[in-house]
Amino acid sequence: MKTPVSWIREYVDLPADLTTEALAAELTDLGLKLEAIEKPGDQITGPLVVGRVLTMEPEPQKNGKTINWCTVDVADANGTGEPQGIVCGAHNFAPGDLVVVVLPGGVLPGNFAISARKTYGHVSAGMICSAAELGLGEDALSSGGGIIVLPEDAGKPGESAFGVLGLDEEVIEFEINPDRAYALSLRGVAREAALAYDASYTDPTQRDVPPADDQGYPVVVDDPAGCPVFVARTVSGFDPAAPTPDWMVQRIQLAGMRPISLAVDVTNYVMLETGRPIHGYDADKLQGPIRVRRAREGERLTTLDGTDRALSTEDLVVTDDSGIIGLGGVMGGEATEMSETTTRVLVEAAHWDAVAMFRTGKRHKISSEAGKRNERGVDPTICEAAADRVVELLTTYGGGTAEPGVTVVGTPPERTTITIEADLPARVTGMEIDPATTIRHLRAVGCEVAEDGTKLTATVPPWRPDLVDPFDLVEEVARVVGYRNVPSVLPTPGAGRGLTREQRLRRRVGRTLAGAGCVEVVSFPFVGDAAFDQLGLPTDDPLRNTVRLANPLSNEEPAYTTTLLPGLLKAAARNVGRGASGVALFETGTVAFPSDRGAAPIYGVDRRPTEEELAALLDALPAQPLHLAVVLAGERERAGWWGEGREAGWADAIAVVRRLASDLGVAVTVEADARMPWHPGRCARVLVEGTEIGRAGELHPKVCASFGLPKRSAAVELDLDALLRHAVDVVPAPEFSTYPVAKEDVALVVDDSVRAADVEAALREGAGELLESIRLFDVYTGEQVGQGRTSLAFALRFRAPDRTLTEDETAAAREAAVARAAELTGAQQRS
Amino acid sequence: MSGPNTDYDPVEVTPLKPEEVESARDAALAAIAAATDLAELKQVRIDHTGDRSPLALANREIGALPPQARKEAGQRIGRARGAVAKALGERQAVLEVEHEERMLAEETVDVTLPTDRVPAGARHPLTTGAELIADIFVAMGWEVAEGPVIEAEWLNFDALNLGPDHPARTMQDTFWTDPQDNGVVLRTHTSPVQARTMLTRTPPIYVVCPGRVFRTDEYDATHSPMFHQVEGLAIDEGITMAHLKGTLDHFATSMFGEGISTRFRPSFFPFTEPSAEVDLLCFVCRGAGELDGARCRTCRGEGWIEWGGCGVVNPRVLTACGVDAERFTGFAFGMGIDRTLMFRHGVEDLRGFFEGDVRFTTAFGSEL
């Protein structure tokens, strides 16, 4: 809402020296938030004066243009009283016209300094100004974008043009919250200014209006709930060519609207002034009585924006004998629109149901100044005053006469009353507010207040449909007392329980992965078929079954993801594309799998849902497990003076999983798997207590290629919730022996098909209790062990808790280990 | 070894003559002194104290002497051998020190060589920022509550007094899951966690709820379809706006430093009444609006930074969530974590958080 300060001052007796900035700050403190202050003239300095064109000689130029060599009377403004010689390229004025002249020494917007300069064979001493050059809208003073020609009564030559042009105006733009619809009018903003400065206030809707009678235009309202009040007045003999007075054009423009024609400008002006949207009909195009009702199935209307609309049975419509002529309160119809031939105007000032207005606006995607006010709630008691004001302005400036007859159908709804304990504002705000203060402030905002013991009953003013609940009154009192007076007091909750187990574990996961050299990323969870295709997922892969969005930002990514890999692989590729030779990333985030339980119910809000209702609600939501994904692409260890670098591979992915599991105290096992997007021979299924929790390994070469990642990039994706469920809560302290260790190495030859983990398990089993640790330290294939055979070398460490082991004991344990491995895996000791 | 020799004249056994012994001793001492490294000294030790050395051979002859002569000869040899052993030990110590010094000098490296063989990892500032905020509140006895990002429409809107005709419930702002009448949305704020908390716990309740939220905003330097909020909710007997102010002032101080306070401006949110916008005193210019004569870039000269929204929990919300609105009052607040970190750390473009460029993230390390 843009409000010229001079217009506010018209209704409020504000201190003369009050700055616009101070006023805006006070109003912001009251809840009208300052958006911007505009000072149209503050980029213009120096002599800007009214001038009269005395002579105007057209002089054709070689370049094909014709310039005008003018002399302009600026009286003594130039210091000599002699006419000022000025070259002007525009032609939309004539000798005798009053124009705006900037004299040498002036500066126009854009830091455009004016000086006397030689051009087209003359010394041009200044400039005759257009609206654009002054930073004004194209429509300023009906100039049509050319030179501004002032009305004859605008001023005398030599006088300052600032006031004439409204350049001395200052405009405050407020962001109006939806509960303060009354402030979408000068009436409302001025009332708040009066409240801020305890200043006297004149309500522009307080006027004597002619009484309703049955002589006015016939109106029937079939739906009084949708349209409680309908006021109609008629002006005839109106001159459609009559210009809008400049002061009105200026105010409409300063308020951010476009002047159109006198009749339209007047309705807009009165809306800005009072907050009440007005609709004007060309009365000669109306056929028979006006009737307000809901639209019927299948009805259509072409609104004045030229759109043909199919109407809903919820839409409120205005009709006459020809059918529907307007979408009530939202937009008029084309057929009865006022035009340049309209001489008889029917003025409609009606009060509409706000919810119906909101729904109609939303349904038809119409956003208008009228709709904005009607859907937030307008004072229902000012219809007659607003209509009368329109009639006054139309007849004053358009030359018509008000027809006798005043149609008023319906009565404004009863005013709301709210009863509160007088100390409620103090109890809710923590400020010291006594009942007398509460009563005073409630009255200041327009409530009538009755006292009854400790209770106060407020009858809220008709322009405040937002005031419904006791706490609404608390806010009114609090904002007048001033939010700045709210004291600062720390609450004192009891002992808290700290972070939950899961919250602590999630932090640990992040630290472990960062410690492993991985960098966390946060990606958008939106996904589409393209990403699943890039991952090489088969068409029936369960990951393709997604929670879809009804209104995705991009049709390419219309779903919530089931895997973190697409976002993570794209981020990795982005880093590689920006020159990283290696990148290790991780992300934790929820993925979603659709629920098949149907729609989530919508309950009322007058009570808590029952446990069953709540369970049904939560049950309808998709499963949203927390996942962890890691990608290791390119250089895992850098090359340097220490030697070669090392590319990431499948083992690094599994190493990350093992390190994480170890930090969490979870025993994970891996087994071979083959599933996209992983390399079929280099993919591990990760298990905890026999349950699969995810996969790790090298990505399929096609996947690396499709995402633009280095060959052999590796990735992990785990169900982190599942992993964390198994995390150890209390780590038992380890016990270990300090007796000397006995080390034994064994090299075992096995068939290629035998897995290292099985050999290790057999050795461990055979070695018995004396075995402290076992570690595979070498894998060899080649001629020495024969085709299809592999040599696995293990380092075994034996130690007893209570003594130094003898050589015989160690050898026996070692032999038992080898024997067990031979028995279970066919391993032969390498000679 | 020689046997006893009765014809032998002990005085005439040449190796045991005093001058012979002294000569052998002096030769040994001279060789020890001349040894320049441990290897040379080792050879000297073999030559002058080994089995074939003159003093060892002389010592072997003592047994051949008549008993009355053995003592004197033994003492003579013993003294000579003792002197040699002592000199050897001393020389050994000196040469060992020299050797170690030389070795260490030879092993000197250029400590300015790079050591970044395994690049460092890092956690995301949005993660560590949320943890920092959580820790500030946990230190006051609050707890951290969480909820799903794909949320029931009723919890995201209705329960929070955003009725069916509230403007936020249009396709303009909210991501709806398909079909749109499914009653399931991507949560537009962390406030449904408030509702969940009230529905499942009994007051007193003091929780913060950090998390991801979604709006159908186009992606640019200051807007993102996904961003992060932290919500705070306190429900207790006697809770007032003053407690809200106290909590936010403490939060501001903890995040931005001593003396950084907040101010309230009246505003409107369906779930709070009274409602306020909360501004943060600019922690760069400390409210002055300018710094070294230039307009403060952090607050754009305002002196204050818009931080979030807050207010007293609307009793309608308490009722819908099963809290006795006669007995309890509460306050709630919410602010963007991304936005908070943007001005705390001078992040110019919101997209930096979501691009995954490791150069951005590693700058923040593993804690904020």
State the average pLDDT over residues A87-109: 89
CB contact under 8 A, B216 and A427: no
Q: How many helices (H) and strands (E) does chain B have?
A: 11, 11
Q: What pLDDT, on a 0 to 100 scale, did the predictor assign at position B130? A: 97
Q: If pLDDT is split at 50, 70 and 90, which confidence band does B8 have?
A: low
For A823, the token pair is 């028995």
State the average pLDDT over residues B58-75: 82
Q: What's the mean pLDDT when you consider all of chain A?
A: 93
For A204-213, A690-699, A788-797, B296-305, which range has the lowest pLDDT when averaged over its residues?
A: B296-305
**B218–chain A Cβ distance below 8 A for any pair:** yes
Please state, in angstroms and rounded to a whole number, the distance separating the CA atoms of residues A657 and A670: 10
Q: Residues 79 to 98 of B: which have CB under 8 A from any A CB? A: none
CB contact under 8 A, B138 and A640: no
What are φ and ψ of residue A292, in 5° steps?
A: -110, 130
State the average pLDDT over residues B238-266: 96
Q: Which residues of A touch B278 (CB under 8 A)?
A: none
In this complex, which of B148, B178, B206 lies closest to A549 when CB atoms are compared?
Answer: B178
State the average pLDDT over residues B179-208: 95
Contacts of A812 (CB under 8 A, 6+ apart): none
CB contact under 8 A, A498 and B316: no
Helix (H), strand (E) at residue B279: strand B272-281
- Residue B49: closest CA among B75, B35, B22, B29: B29
Q: What pLDDT, on a 0 to 100 scale, did the predictor assign at position B165? A: 82
Q: What pLDDT, on a 0 to 100 scale, did the predictor assign at position A808? A: 95
Q: Residues 32 to 61 of A: which have CB under 8 A from any B CB? A: 33
Beta carbon pairs, A and B, within 8 Å: 301
**B165–chain A Cβ distance below 8 A for any pair:** yes
**How are beta strands A229-236 and A401-402 bridged, if at all?**
antiparallel
Which pLDDT tens digit goes with each residue over A212-270? 999 999 999 999 999 999 999 999 999 999 999 989 988 998 999 999 999 999 999 99
Q: If pLDDT is split at 50, 70 and 90, which confidence band does A146 have?
A: confident
CB contact under 8 A, B274 and A526: no
Q: Which residues of B touch A640 (CB under 8 A)?
A: 114, 116-117
State the average pLDDT over residues B315-340: 97
Enumerate the domain spans of chain B: 10-106, 125-362
Q: Which CATH architecture has domain A42-165?
A: Beta Barrel (2.40)
Of residues A589 and A139, more confidently modeled: A589
CB contact under 8 A, A428 and B124: no
**B355–chain A Cβ distance below 8 A for any pair:** yes
Fold exhibited by the domain A742-829: Alpha-Beta Plaits (3.30.70)
Q: What angle do CA A725, A729, A730 make, to 5 degrees?
A: 160
Q: If pLDDT is split at 50, 70 and 90, which confidence band does B330 have?
A: very high
Q: What pLDDT, on a 0 to 100 scale, did the predictor assign at position A31? A: 94
Which pLDDT tens digit goes with each residue over B300-327? 898 999 999 999 999 999 999 999 999 9
Can you spell out the DSSP letters for A479-493? HHH-GGG--------
Residue type, A386: A
For A591, the token pair is 């993925």
Residue type, A472: D
Residue type, A529: D
Burial of A618 (0-12, 13-18, 19+ CB in 10 A): middle
State the average pLDDT over residues A378-403: 96
Residue type, A500: T
In this complex, which of A471, A514, A525 lies closest to B273 when CB atoms are compared?
Answer: A471
State the average pLDDT over residues A374-389: 96
Q: If pLDDT is split at 50, 70 and 90, which confidence band does B224 have?
A: very high
Q: Which residues of B touch A475 (CB under 8 A)?
A: 266, 273-275
- The interface pTM score, or ipTM, of the predicted complex is 0.89
Sequence-ordered strand ranges (E) for B135-219: 143-144, 150-152, 184-186, 205-214
Q: Which residues belong to CATH 3.30.56.10 in chain A?
A: 2-39+170-197, 417-484
pLDDT at A170 over 70: yes
Q: Residues 92 to 151 of B: which have CB under 8 A from any A CB? A: 113-114, 116-124, 126-127, 131, 134, 138, 140-144, 146, 148-151
For B278, the token pair is 């909360």
Q: How far is A628 from chain B (nearest CA, A)?
A: 13
Q: How far is A656 from chain B (nearest CA, A)?
A: 13
CB contact under 8 A, A547 and B150: yes
Please give the CATH number for the structural domain made up of A417-484.
3.30.56.10
> Is the CB of residue A534 less than 8 Å from the CB of residue A715?
no
pLDDT at B2 over 60: no
> How does A389-412 read in b/e, with b if 16+ C-beta sit within 10 Å?
bbbebbbebbebebbebbbbbbee
Q: Which CATH architecture has domain A2-39+170-197?
A: 2-Layer Sandwich (3.30)
Q: Which residues of B touch A488 (CB under 8 A)?
A: 242, 245-246, 249, 261
Residue type, A240: P
Q: If pLDDT is split at 50, 70 and 90, which confidence band does B355 have?
A: very high
Please state, in angstroms and rounded to a whole number, the distance separating the CA atoms of residues B54 and A71: 135
Q: If pLDDT is split at 50, 70 and 90, which confidence band does A4 have?
A: very high
CATH of A501-597+618-725, one of 3.40.50.1860, 3.40.50.1580, 3.30.930.10, 3.40.50.20: 3.30.930.10
Strand partners, A696: A684, A716
In this complex, which of B143, B159, B177 lies closest to A496 when CB atoms are compared?
Answer: B143
The yes or no reply on domain B125-362 and CATH 3.40.50.300 is no
- Residue A338: closest CA among A388, A400, A424: A400
Strand partners, A160: A49
Q: If pLDDT is split at 50, 70 and 90, which confidence band does A144 have?
A: low
> How does B89-121 read in b/e, with b if 16+ C-beta sit within 10 Å?
eebbeebeeeeeeeeeeeeeeeeeeeeeeebeb
pLDDT at A139 over 60: no
For B109, the token pair is 């490296």
Please state, in angstroms and rounded to a whole number, the distance separating the CA atoms of residues A249 and A278: 18
Q: Which CATH architecture has domain A219-409?
A: 3-Layer(bba) Sandwich (3.50)
- Residue A445: closest CA among A2, A5, A31: A31
- CA nearest A491 in B: which residue? B243
Long-range contacts of B166-169 (CB under 8 A, 24+ apart): B166/B270, B167/A178, B167/A358
CB contact under 8 A, B138 and A496: yes
Q: What pLDDT, on a 0 to 100 scale, did the predictor assign at position A137? A: 65
Which pLDDT tens digit goes with each residue over B73-107? 888 888 989 999 999 999 999 999 999 999 999 99
CB contact under 8 A, A29 and B186: no
CB contact under 8 A, B123 and A516: no
Q: What pLDDT, on a 0 to 100 scale, did the predictor assign at position A143? A: 53
Contacts of B193 (CB under 8 A, 6+ apart): B145, B146, B147, B207, B209, B211, B231
pLDDT at B238 over 80: yes
Q: What pLDDT, on a 0 to 100 scale, did the predictor assign at position A647? A: 95
CB contact under 8 A, B312 and A428: yes
How far, in Å, are A145, A408, A439, A535 from residue B298 at the CA level? 39, 56, 42, 43
Which pLDDT tens digit goes with each residue over A656-686? 999 999 999 999 999 999 999 999 999 999 9
Q: If pLDDT is split at 50, 70 and 90, which confidence band does B1 have?
A: very low
Q: Residues 2 to 31 of B: which have CB under 8 A from any A CB? A: none
pLDDT at A319 over 80: yes
| Helix/strand/coil for A327 | strand
State the average pLDDT over residues A81-98: 89
